[in-house]
């Protein structure tokens, strides 16, 4: 399972009958993904701490039409989707919880 973090409001505002294509696809050429609960938790707290309705799209990689590539980043090795996210590949939408200090938690 792979995961993509997004505001639930933003995701729901995208056309449901089209593949999901966030701004990063057009700006950077890929969609940021995470592969483990630890990666999801780290990314959520490092980049999305101020998003109040953060969800993780749980993605079945086998159902993706675009290629996934594992890229080295300054923060480790992360998967990136080089094309739009097929709606059929989204298996679940999981809201992230916060601990008592306000940090996001994700257990997968």
pLDDT confidence of residue 74: 87
Q: What is the CATH number of the domain that holds 45?
A: 3.20.170.20
**Average pLDDT for residues 29-46, to the nearest whole number?**
96
pLDDT tens digits, one per residue of 49-76: 999 999 999 999 999 999 999 999 888 8
Q: Secondary structure of the chain in the HEC alphabet? A: CEEEEEEHHHHHCCCCCCCECCHHHHHCCCEECECCHHHHHHHHHHHCCCCCCEEEEEECHHHCCCCEEEEEECCEEEEEECCCECHHHEEEEEECEECCCCCEECCC
Instruction: Look at the chain and report how many structural domains it folds into.
Output: 1
Q: Which domain holds residue 37?
A: 2-105
């Amino acid at each position: 399972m792979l995961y993509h973090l997004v505001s639930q409001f933003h995701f729901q505002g995208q056309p449901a009958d089209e593949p999901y294509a966030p701004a990063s696809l057009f700006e950077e050429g890929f969609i940021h993904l995470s592969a483990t609960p630890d990666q999801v938790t780290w990314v959520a707290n490092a980049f999305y701490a101020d998003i109040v309705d953060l969800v993780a799209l749980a993605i079945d990689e086998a159902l993706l039409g675009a290629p996934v590539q594992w890229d080295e980043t300054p923060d480790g090795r992360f998967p990136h989707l080089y094309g739009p996210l097929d709606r059929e590949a989204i298996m679940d939408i999981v809201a992230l919880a916060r601990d008592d200090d306000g940090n996001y938690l994700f257990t997968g």
